[in-house]
Structure 1
Amino acid sequence: MGLFDKIFGTGSKIKVQFIDSDNGQTIGISEMTASQLPETFSLQTTMHYHNDAWVIEEAIPENSIDFIKTKSLILKMRKTEKIDLSEVWFTTPTISNEFPRLEPKTRDTAYDLGIHEDDYRQREFLSPGSTPKIEEEFVGIREVWSEYSKKSGDITVFKNCHVRKTIGPPNLVIDFKQLKSLLECKSVGQVIINERTLSNGFVIRTDNTTYFGTLDGETVIELCMANWNEESTNEILEINQAFNLVFVNWTHCDLVI
């Protein structure tokens, strides 16, 4: 995001100090309003200054609720190397437009699941009413496969990546106790993304499959699949039938009704 494009506005309230991580020197100081800053720097943030891209490596404090109180923010950042975009290839043909909400990791569980941010909502359950939007997204993903993919060793890489924008939040309404009972799961873990914890997240495992998602109280509002085997299809069909859902594997445009 281009924070430097905004720092010279009026109505400033928070003193922001910009520090070059390579040498520890201050490269700029500005006063900014809260509306000019993100709610959190826990997600990777990039800014541009004098046509150079800078990645924020550390923010002190990290969250807006804190720097609004202190009226002070220190941003330690590093200049990024210019990348030849013609040589950039993606390892997935599609990603979700919604980024998972994360919070600091405070504990470990026996069922911790670490996933890459790109794997968030790649294999998920949705309501049947989403089917027309699913087919619409499949059009873009299939185009990436047909027009912008190539083999690189044992994997396929992609010149373009389709960002899914029409689906939105799943907003499922699944009783968590019923889901655990159906899958015969008793232990619950947490999801780790970028060394942080998925907010209100959970992990449950069967002999065949690892599921994860998010909760609103005791209601599952997102349900995704991480690890599976050939026997997982039977579980998918059981979940679909029990909770009136459909399952979609976005990467390969697979829909299980």
Structure 2
Amino acid sequence: MPGTVRVVFVDAADGSEVGRTELDAGQLPESFAAATRLEIAGEPWDVVRAEPPTAGEFVAGGRLVLTLSRVQVAAPEDMSYSLPTIYDALPPAETAQAGAGVLFGIHEDDWRQTELLSRQVAAGAEVEAELRAIRRIHREHSRLVGQDDSALRAFDTIHIRRAPLAPLAGADVSARRLSELRRADGSPYAGVTYDGGRSRVADSFAVDTGSFTLYGQTHGDRVEVLCLAPSTGTAAEPAAALAHTMRDYDLVLVDWGSATLWDPAGISEFLAWSQSAGAA
């Protein structure tokens, strides 16, 4: 039948024939130059090689040989995660404007991993429920991968946080006040990005103190989300200034990854611990 192509499927692993069929030319792509994935008997395969590679050739000859590589799909029980928890929804982003300034970059999984909460929110049932779920993952779903100093903790499930929606409820935190914590020789960030600078988190800000970076979102001068990203600095003054700010606004720091809460008095200890953990 004109326009019909006999297709032979070959397993790249051992050269054996997986199957063969006849297909209408319209069911096949114009070319296999781009990466192509097929499903055969419910299993995914990637096309490694097509002979001949273009529709003009295999339609004219009526025959096509596709060499395939089976896609290895991990069973859910075999999957592991480097974090026990992430926050459910990323904040909306807008196209980054050229020349608008340097953006503070984070990985999308790090959004709200370490953040400041008003004390009334930290003491609420929502936060306690989230912490309880993360601690359960540490107890029942974690293991060490590797040995000695190179060992890393992996998790076979991950907790998706959806609370608190208003982490600073009851605390009128000023963005202007936070900007005063910026190190003297530091330039202000123009906001936050989690895709390498292609976009900017809407209404975002970031302040580099030298020992850590504070970042989050604002509504006018009011800070609505306030997060902390430790760095390699060890200066005592930024930690003391943050502790003072936390006392003024009655804030508590939560590190969701370790499911721990820190009062202002423990901020220096937290920064030392987080920096040593990051270096491990």
| TM-score for the superposition, normalised by structure 1 | 0.62
Contact 2:178 2:207 in 1 (8 A): no
- Paired residue for 2:224? 221
Shift of 1:194: 2.1
- 223-232 or 240-249, which moves further after superposition? 223-232
- One-letter identity of the residue aligned with 1:113: F
- Paired residue for 1:190? 191
Distance 1:202 1:166, change over 3 A: closer
- Paired residue for 2:108? 117
Show structure 1 runs of 5+ residues with no match. Answer: 1-21, 26-50, 54-79
Q: Distance in 2 between the 1:235 and 1:189 partners?
A: 22
**Secondary structure of the corresponding residue to residue 257 of structure 2:** helix
2:127 is equivalent to residue 128 of structure 1: no
CA RMSD of aligned residues (A): 2.9
- Paired residue for 1:174? 173
Distance 1:24 1:90, change over 3 A: farther
Q: Distance in 2 between the 1:24 and 1:81 partners?
A: 27
Counterpart pick for 2:90 among 74, 99, 102 = 99
Q: Distance in 2 between the 1:85 and 1:107 partners?
A: 42
Alignment size in residue pairs: 185
Q: Distance in 1 between the 2:119 and 2:43 partners?
A: 46
Distance 1:246 1:110, change over 3 A: same
Contact 1:125 1:245 in 2 (8 A): yes
Contact 1:144 1:160 in 2 (8 A): yes
Identity among equivalent positions (%) equals 24
Larger radius of gyration: 2
Q: Distance in 2 between the 1:139 and 1:222 partners?
A: 22
- One-letter identity of the residue aligned with 1:251: G
Per-residue CA shift, 1:149-203, capped at 9, x if unaligned? 1112332110111122331232553221122225566723321112421111111
Show structure 2 runs of 5+ residues with no match. Answer: 1-27, 32-41, 45-70, 264-280
Q: Distance in 2 between the 1:177 and 1:221 partners?
A: 13
| TM-score for the superposition, normalised by structure 2 | 0.58
Q: Distance in 2 between the 1:91 and 1:101 partners?
A: 25
Per-residue CA shift, 1:44-91, capped at 9, x if unaligned? xxxxxxx899xxxxxxxxxxxxxxxxxxxxxxxxxx974422221111
Per-residue CA shift, 1:6-51, capped at 9, x if unaligned? xxxxxxxxxxxxxxxx9589xxxxxxxxxxxxxxxxxxxxxxxxx8
Distance 1:100 1:24, change over 3 A: farther
